[in-house]
Structure 1
Amino acid sequence: MTEPDLPGVGPWEGEWPVGDHFDAELLRDGDRRNVIDRYRYWSLESIVADLDLRRHPFHVAIENWQHDFNIGSIVRTANAFAAAEVHIIGKRRWNRRGAMVTDRYQHVRYHDTVDDFSAWASEAGLAVIGIDNVDDSEPIETANLPRECVLVFGQEGPGLSDEARKACERTLSIAQFGSTRSINAGAAAAIAMHAWIRAHV
């Protein structure tokens, strides 16, 4: 691979910029990370601190009982939409490849059980909104999403567990028109997060 084909930018040319947010190694060697231009040559800590000033007041929660491969994709999307936090309910281990290292910039909190998560959400004053195609769900296309909330997603296939459904104030569904019962969990999460963005941003 020749130098021009590499992603990102090469070493800083000319006099180095001044600022604590710049990373000396990146300025010297180049910045090949998957970050927007605003954050080129910034240190990881500085990027996270800047994101913390601009994160949105919605959270995302994912049940992880079967090591769902969609979690990485959901974390990546949460980062793209500047979610306040991602919550993983159940097992702490998950496949980070799909996150494309965005988990370094995104706050991730773990809850051992649905009850633990539910207690945290109640104390934080956040509405818990399930996303699942079940009989009593409301169409997300016409629902009013609360500004401060947690969007909760279940495992690929079975969807939200019974415990998670009971913890949700409401459950919203995404309209589908084909033959399959459900869409990919990562795709559903992206649609739901963008619905929140359209409503509040």
Structure 2
Amino acid sequence: MAAGGRASGRPAKKKGPSKGTGGQKRRSLEGRGATPPAEMRHWYKDKARAERIAREEQSGTRRPAPARQQRRSEDAPEHIGGRNPVLEALHAGVPASALYIAQRIDNDDRVRDSIKIAAERGIALLEVSRDKLDRLTEGGVHQGIALQIPAYDYAHPSELVELAQEAAEVPLIVALDSVTDPRNLGAIARSATAFGAHGLLIPSRRSAGVTGGAWKTSAGTLANLRVARAANLTAALREYREAGLFVLGLDGAGDTDIGDVELLTEPLVVVVGSEGKGLSRLVREHCDVLARIPMRAAAESLNAGVAAGVALYEAARHRRL
């Protein structure tokens, strides 16, 4: 046997690639494709933004980023600012959890009376900086004093009818359609209280709520007037009609003067629209009558609070006859 020969005498097999490795070498030669253009690379937008900011800062045209608006939670407390509004709210028995007094405040009778009433009612007294009061009242005029009130506990629309029934009175309810200014809500609450309405009805969307601004404008009357909230205003009006109430909509294009409406002595819902758009189409369709407030042509429209006051006065006048 020759040196280096195989003992078995079988011819040697040529060694080939191991099983299962086919294609690996081909894939390794494929590469990663064409290089993507700069605008398709993940870092391009950040780099371009950084370069733009640098150019703006060098040229002095860089503007600060706007502050992010935080959405107020419906369960968050509200704050009434101002010496007269706070004192009026305390006299009216508005539910309150804290009275904030600015450090080194210039006391007067209103501040002293507010502190006295708060102490008698067991309301916490807190001395804070004016910056703190600015934040609490969202930049409003607070005169160094603010009252914290809990989030409003809205009634169900049917409760307003029950209040009238318990008082053995003909129901009179005011509904607000797209009234988004809390000051208008507060003013309407004052008129509603003055003329014997049994409550306000507001939709849960696109409407002012019982906020600190509404409390302030109402001069404490919201403490004695229930406000109900409905997920759908037109559905609530339909339910009122099914319960035997009539719906009167205030509309400048109405065909009847408010003083000539025969339904004012009946169970009634008076609907007040926004100053700009008035009543929405769906709300108009659910009204039994559309009434206008007669006035000179020079005045195009009335403030929502004023219009509600005029209509409620007419309702109260007719009910006294």
User: What is the TM-score of this pair, normalised by structure 2?
Assistant: 0.45
Q: 1:58 matched to which residue of 2? A: 172
Match of 1:73 among 187, 190, 195: 187
Match of 2:293 among 165, 171, 174: 174
Structure 1 position 102 matched with structure 2 position 221: yes
What is the CA-CA distance between 1:55 and the residue it aligns to? 6.1
Relative contact order, higher structure (CA 8 A, sep 6+):
1
Cα gap change, 1:186 to 1:4, in 2 (>3 Å): closer
SS in 2 for 1:117: helix
Equivalent residue runs for 1:105-116 within 5 Å: 105-116=224-235
The code of the aligned residue for 2:172 comes to F
SS in 2 for 1:128: strand
Cα gap change, 1:80 to 1:6, in 2 (>3 Å): farther
Whole-angstrom CA distance in 1 between matches of 2:179 and 2:296: 29
Deviations 1:98-142 (A, max 9, x none): 2222112101111122332223312331000001111x4211122
SS in 1 for 2:259: coil
Cα gap change, 1:53 to 1:7, in 2 (>3 Å): farther
The code of the aligned residue for 2:293 comes to I
Count of residue correspondences: 164
Stretch of structure 1 that moved more, 165-174 or 109-118: 109-118
Q: 1:139 matched to which residue of 2? A: 257
Q: 1:86 matched to which residue of 2? A: 200
SS in 2 for 1:141: helix
Q: 1:157 matched to which residue of 2? A: 276
What is the CA-CA distance between 1:53 and the residue it aligns to? 3.6
CA-atom RMSD in angstroms: 3.1
Stretch of structure 1 that moved more, 84-93 or 108-117: 84-93
Structure 1: 5+ residue runs without aligned partners? Answer: 12-24, 27-50
Contact 2:249 2:289 in 1 (8 A): yes
What is the CA-CA distance between 1:67 and the residue it aligns to? 4.2
Stretch of structure 1 that moved more, 104-113 or 52-61: 52-61
Cα gap change, 1:6 to 1:182, in 2 (>3 Å): farther
Whole-angstrom CA distance in 1 between matches of 2:171 and 2:308: 16
Contact 2:200 2:227 in 1 (8 A): yes
SS in 1 for 2:174: strand
Structure 1 position 129 matched with structure 2 position 248: yes
The code of the aligned residue for 2:283 comes to A
Structure 1 position 120 matched with structure 2 position 265: no
SS in 1 for 2:190: helix
The code of the aligned residue for 2:318 comes to A
Cα gap change, 1:2 to 1:72, in 2 (>3 Å): closer
Whole-angstrom CA distance in 2 between matches of 1:93 and 1:108: 12
Deviations 1:81-109 (A, max 9, x none): 22112111243643413222211210111
Stretch of structure 1 that moved more, 163-172 or 61-70: 61-70
SS in 1 for 2:290: strand
Structure 2: 5+ residue runs without aligned partners? Answer: 1-106, 122-163
What is the CA-CA distance between 1:162 and the residue it aligns to? 0.9
Whole-angstrom CA distance in 1 between matches of 2:237 and 2:110: 50
Whole-angstrom CA distance in 1 between matches of 2:247 and 2:227: 17
SS in 1 for 2:186: helix
Contact 1:62 1:152 in 2 (8 A): yes
The code of the aligned residue for 2:256 comes to E
Contact 2:247 2:289 in 1 (8 A): yes
What is the CA-CA distance between 1:180 and the residue it aligns to? 2.4
User: What is the TM-score of this pair, normalised by structure 1?
Assistant: 0.69
